[in-house]
Structure 1
Amino acid sequence: MKAWVLAAVVALAVSHTTAQAPSARVATASVIPACKVAQRMGYSPSAEEVAAHRLSDAPAIRYPYGTAMPRGWWGFELTVRVDAGGRVVCYGDQDEFGRTQTLSAPRRALLQSLRYRPFQRDGQAVDAVLTEDVAEEERPQQRRPLPVVPLDQVRIVLTRGPCFGDCPSYRVELRGDGQAVYEGSAFVDVEGRHAYRVPPERVAALVDSLRAKDLWSLRTGYRARITDNPTYVLSLTLGDQTHVIEDYVGERAGMPRAVSAFEREVDEAARSQMWLQLTPEAVQRLKSEGFDFASTAGADLLARAVASDGDQKEAALLELIALGTPTDPARRTPQETVWGAGPAEPIVMTALKRGHVALATALIADGALQTQGRTDPGKLDEAFAAAVAGGRLAAVQRVWDAAGGRPYPSLSFLDTSADSEKPVSKRVPVSLQLHQQYAYPKQSIDGVGIARWLAERGCDLKAHGASGDTLLHNATRAGDVELVRYLLDQGVDPSAPGRFGLPALGGAQDEEVALTLLQAGTDPSKLSDFQRYVDYNRWTRVDAWLKAHGGR
């Protein structure tokens, strides 16, 4: 490709802030080749680290209006190797299935423009292999200026619809005078319609953002060829004019990233998060509305809030209890499972599973584990297993102490395999609840502390569950390297067969965990195509270990 042609492609096709890198410089640069097999391995920085080292905005390519993308899919992942000086030296030309991918002219032009600050490891600049999620955006057909109207004639509505799953479904409306309305539908803590106010300056800032992002010029809909995802709708009204943008996985249909960014800005201005995951502020707003916390609606609110996640959740939950919100499952509206907790599950059990220690402690002190004024052995055992699953040592100890001198909670539970053809049930040590209830917890758990505490009281850390997996398998899948190391130190067999006869290594998703298991003696030959898995994950240390031990 001639230099002037490449320069034109860069100027017209690439919207990349360090497309402040001069076009002439890009044009004269040598063509970046595809990576050889050995070059695909290397230090793999996190997405946050990549963003911090990128000398530009997130990479994006802009195409003329009406462009038809091959296979109808916009956006792609671009894997590159960056040398110790921050320069791209090659790119990955194969997808995860080993299929060769050829870069189009615009994509290659973007590749040429990528620049990074040197990545460091242990204080030394190193080569890095990273993957960029490149946006491909369609330009507007023509620019339509945003109507200029008084702020009190502005109305912005964001609707996030349901999906085939637990996507929060709700609607927020903001008006220029500060009026705000939230309506929660499903998979949110607070349901129903709630009116409140926000500072008008927040709405004014949204109008400025609308203008800067030129959303008024975009299509009215972007729908990707995919199923089971939520639909988001922005309705923008200024005076007597309204522009609607429908976003159904829109970034995979040519929608500019600016739309998603604006959706997040609307949520921030409307303070949507306080309703989605109950906060003390939302509780105060409900109080000002005259919400009846002692009603069935209050009991439903508590059940939803206890079963969902949230950074400020504990204080809000305790406030609900103080306001007289019913904890009895019989007071709730009969409904299907919400956030993983059955409709008849006692609040204390859900609180223990979700790690809400302060709430569980308060409920236990109020007699949640008693029947007719005496500790109920059945409730005690159930609560103990739930506390272990929740991963908080303080909760485990609190339930243990609740026995009050009576026989302690059972150190085992009835486990049932998920195998539908030959389901198996058997009693196993309660330690197997760790990392089993929620395989990928959003918060770290006290894995080692609980395992050690249970072992001191007689739990067998080498036991197999009903599916055949051990606690080592659970810890490996969860990426809990400290628990993996502790179990190995306790003599757990690193090659112990689990479900389908596979060792724990088969479930490793973290390189440190995989390397720890290999160093402890796991035989990788028991896993088919393990080397390809290592290559795909760019596990350089595991790869080096395999080479040193004849495994490659």
Structure 2
Amino acid sequence: MPRFPNIAAACWLAVALPAVAADLPSCADTKVKLPEADRQTTDDHRLFERPVVDYPAGTDPALVDDYLALSVGVDASGRPTCVGGLASEEGLPKIRAQLAAAVPGWRYRPFEREGRAVAMQVQQPIDVQILPGRVVEVPPVRAEDTSVTLVRVGCFWQCAEYAITVRGDGWVGYRGLRHVAVPDDRAWKLPAAEVAPLLALARDPGLWAAEDDYRAQVHDAETIMVRVDAGGRRKQSLVYPASHPAAPIALRRLAEAIVQRTGVHRWVYLSDDTIDVLQKEGFDFASPAGRDLLVRSFHHRHRLDEAAILRLLELGASAETAASPEPWTVLDIALRERRAALVEPLIAHGVLMTDGRPDQGKIDAAFRAAIQGGRLAPVQRLWRIAGVQSNPALTYPDPNEEGPSPRRALPVTLLLERDLVDKAWEGFAIARWLDGQGADLSALSSRGTGLLSIAAHADDPEFMRYLLARGLDPASLGEREFMRFSVRHGEDLALQMLDAQLAHRPRGWELPSDFLEVAELQGWPRVIAWLEAHPEVAVRAPRKPCPRAAQVASKSESPTSAASRCGADS
């Protein structure tokens, strides 16, 4: 993320809604912990114009953070109740203060959990732009000779790629390119009321003042191309990434409006609307084309419409795909994304079959995906499915090894990894169950990662205690992780980790130089007594500060020996 100098003082805020005088309290002062909504979910519920932070013309784009978001507490009706921090590498207090003044006027469509409206902590995205440094005459924009076009092309992670054009008379043309539910050419008509806002945006002076090309040195981002043809004149701008701060906000606003007004998402992402149209056209859902539609509907794993997918299966779409060297099925995505409602229907529709028979490769891949999903019930369900073997494999080839020789087999336990936003992760339960099936708990990946590191990353002390009790070596954690986890979870766990380390190293080892200091600060008398009772376990000598003169090595002395004279690490 770009770093900020004191540029916040040079920018100001434009918002669609006027500021409201009443200040909201800080979310830090509230005692109730609210569930959190991510940026995309927040923006999907927004009922106001997204706020914009404007930077003066000529600002270096490298100094602008194009990924701003403001944390806001929202009640069950969608009304803001508190203002949190600005999600940015720097504090940007001036921008936050200006944004906070407008927050009381914001409104959201109510957020729901399990069918009822709930309060939510949201991350509201904030648009940024560098104002154009020129003024360009805007040509007449008339319905009879104007069209607007949006082209989206992708990223490494299967972003939707398509082109859509809207003419002033309401004609819409769509072409699906890649990673869309329906990759056909489509045409339909929009009412005049939907076209008028697009024509209004096409008249924005900021759009006509835009440069032809905006590119940043980033990777794996979406590119958009926005074009307006009006009265024989054409304005076309390519923007990469789509949120490039130097691009006038008018380009992004027009792109968003084209998507919203045309309803193009019915062809990009599978929905009931997609199925309704295809049914009217007589689409054969039981055909190979129906199976392909099902597979494409999983391209966008964060936008899976479970109801539409289940309806597609009910209409006869097959989930069985051809065999491949790297078995992969849509079930893998459903398991990783914890879409429990899709698991049994997909299995029933042949997702683990090839040519009518259970495919061991697909079964093994789905079992691994269930482990990655972090829920025990699907792991146990996949374990009961037999192919050539009575159960799925408990190992898999190391994906980080290359070459013609057979790759090292790693235990499936190393696939456990907690997504920190997943509050219901069942990694400990899965590991304990896999232990009972004979899986190896002690192995390390080629990068040195083991289950202890996985438990530490998950911040799960019970998981850690179980692994230590099973004899795992805490040295695999590394010194810093060892200390950090000990401090976080108390003296009992610190003692257990020391005992486990000693069991593997009876002749002793060295602890970090500040371990004793940490133990004293934490008030751990038993740990201090343990260290005194085990002289074979040394605490590394702390570094001695070097006088400035001693830091400078003479011409005949190496920097390494100069450092050693001061007791510094070489």
- Given candidates 425, 439, 446, the residue that maps to 2:408 is 425
Q: Give the equivalent residue in structure 1 for 2:442.
A: 463
**Residue deviations 1:84-118 (CA, integer Å, cap 9, x gap):** x9999xx9999xxxxxxxxxxxx99x77985757x
In the alignment, does 2:169 pair up with 1:195?
A: no
Question: Residues 414 and 445 of structure 2 are in contact (CA less than 8 Å); yes or no, is this contact kept in structure 1?
Answer: no
Residues 389 and 526 of structure 1: CA distance in aligned 2, closer, same or farther (over 3 Å): farther
Q: 2 CA distance for matches of 1:347 and 1:93? A: 41
1:414 aligns with 2:414: no
- For 1:461 and 1:501, locate their aligned partners in 2 and report how far apart those are by CA, in whole Å: 15
Instruction: Classify the secondary structure of the residue corresponding to 1:324.
Output: coil
Task: Decide whether aligned partners of structure 1 residues 177 and 546 sit closer, same or farther in structure 2, where only a CA change above 3 A counts.
Answer: farther
Q: How many residues in Structure 1 have an aligned counterpart in Structure 2?
A: 448
State the match for 2:348 in structure 1: 365
**Which residue of the other structure, out of 134, 140, 143, is the alignment partner of 1:147?**
140
| Higher mean C-alpha displacement, 449-458 vs 393-402 | 449-458
- What's the counterpart of residue 301 of structure 2? 309
Distance 1:199 1:112 in 2: 40
* Partner Cα separation in structure 2 for residue 133 and residue 167 of structure 1: 22
Say whether 1:473 aligns with 2:462.
no
Q: Matches of residues 461-540 of structure 1 in structure 2 within 5 Å?
A: 462-467=441-446, 468-474=448-454, 477=457, 480-481=458-459, 484-492=460-468, 501-503=476-478, 515=488, 520-521=493-494
SS at match of 2:395: strand
Secondary structure (helix, strand or coil) at the match of 2:464 reads helix
In the alignment, the residues of structure 2 paired with residue 488 and residue 459 of structure 1 have an alpha-carbon distance, to the nearest angstrom, of 19
Separation of aligned partners in 2, 1:181 and 1:507: 59
Cα distance 1:262–1:546, how it changes in 2: closer, same or farther (>3 A)?
farther
What residue in structure 2 maps to residue 396 of structure 1? 379
Q: Which residue of 2 aligns with 1:274?
A: 266
Offset of residue 140 of structure 1: 4.5
1:221-253 deviations in whole A, cap 9, x for unaligned? 333355665431111234444322221237656
Q: Whole-Å Cα distance in 2 between the matches of residues 472 and 545 of structure 1?
A: 22
Task: Evaluate the alpha carbon distance shift between residue 253 and residue 362 of structure 1 in structure 2; reply closer, same or farther with a 3 A threshold.
Answer: closer
Q: Deviations over 1:272-326 (max 9, x none)?
A: 4333332222222233344444444433332232353144422222233333334
- CA 1:203–1:496 in structure 2 vs 1: closer, same or farther (change >3 Å)? farther
What residue number does 1:236 align with?
A: 228
Aligned partners of 1:196, 1:431: CA distance in 2, in Å? 51
Please name the residue that 1:82 is paired with.
none
Distance 1:164 1:365, change over 3 A: closer
Distance 1:283 1:62, change over 3 A: same
Unpaired segments ≥5 residues, structure 2? 1-7, 19-35, 69-81, 104-122, 499-508, 525-541, 544-570
Worse overlay, 419-428 or 301-310: 419-428
Aligned ranges for residues 115-126 of structure 1 at < 5 Å? 116=100
Alpha-carbon offset, residue 158 of structure 1: 0.6
Matching residue within 59, 64, 67 for 1:75: 64
Distance 1:446 1:268 in 2: 35
The answer on whether the counterparts of 1:355 and 1:392 sit within 8 Å (CA) in structure 2 is yes
Per-residue CA deviations over 1:45-81 (Å, capped at 9, x if unaligned) read 9997x999xxx95433222xxx474xx73524899xx
d(CA) in 1 for partners of 2:511, 2:160: 39
Letter in 2 for 1:302: L
Q: Which has the higher contact order (CA 8 A, sep 6+)?
A: 1
SS at match of 2:310: helix
Q: Deviations over 1:438-497 (max 9, x none)?
A: x859877642485277258446684334434333434555xx44xx24413535489966
User: In the alignment, is the contact (CA less than 8 A) between 1:416 and 1:423 conserved in 2?
Assistant: no
Instruction: Map residues 56-135 of structure 1 onto 2, 5 A cutoff.
Output: 57-63=51-57, 67=58, 69=60, 73=62, 75-76=64-65, 116=100, 135=128
Q: TM-score, normalised by structure 2?
A: 0.59
Contact 2:285 2:315 in 1 (8 A): yes
Distance 2:428 2:339 in 1: 17
SS at match of 1:299: helix
The one-letter code sitting in structure 2 at the alignment partner of 1:171 is A
Match of 1:180 in 2: 172
* Distance in 1 between residues matched to 2:511 and 2:225, nearest whole Å: 46
Alignment check: 8 A CA contact 1:86 1:116 kept: yes
Q: Is the 8 A contact 1:233 1:245 kept in 2?
A: yes
Q: Partner of 2:319 in structure 1?
A: 327
Map Cα deviations across residues 124-173 of structure 1 (whole Å, 9 max, x no partner).
xxxxxx9x9894513241153462424x5442211012345533321122
- Distance change in 2, residues 1:320/1:257 (3 Å): same
- Return the alpha-carbon distance in structure 1 between the equivalents of residues 52 and 485 of structure 2: 29
- The letter for the 1-side match of 2:379 is V
Find runs of 4+ consecutive structure 1 residues off by over 6 angstroms.
Answer: 45-48, 85-88, 91-94, 110-113, 370-378, 441-445, 493-498, 511-514, 525-530, 544-547, 549-552
Aligned pair 1:14/2:11, yes or no?
A: yes
Over 3 Å counting, the alpha-carbon distance change for 1:134 and 1:215 in structure 2 is: closer
For 2:519 and 2:188, the matched residues in 1 are separated by: 60
Q: Distance in 2 between matches of 1:494 and 1:262?
A: 59
Residue 261 of structure 1 is matched in structure 2 by: 253
Corresponding letter in the other structure for 2:371 = V
The code of the aligned residue for 2:308 comes to A
The partner residue of 2:368 within 385, 389, 401 is 385
Root-mean-square deviation (Å): 5.8
Whether contact under 8 Å (1:74, 1:137) holds in the other structure is no
Aligned equivalents of 1:243 and 1:529: distance in 2? 64
Amino acid at match of 1:433: L
How is 1:29-40 mapped onto 2 (pairs within 5 angstroms)?
none
1: CA distance, partners of 2:513 / 2:140: 59
Contact preservation (8 Å) 2:270, 2:308: yes
C-alpha separation between the residues in 1 aligned to 2:130 and 2:168?
30
Of 197, 202, 208, the residue aligned with 2:200 is: 208
After superposition, the Cα gap between the structure-2 partners of 1:199 and 1:432, relative to the gap in structure 1 and judged at 3 Å, is: farther
Which is greater in Rg?
2
| CA 1:279–1:527: 2 relative to 1, 3 Å | farther
The question of whether the paired residues in 2 share the 8 Å contact of 1:178 and 1:203 is answered with: yes
1:37 paired residue number: none
Partner of 2:416: 434
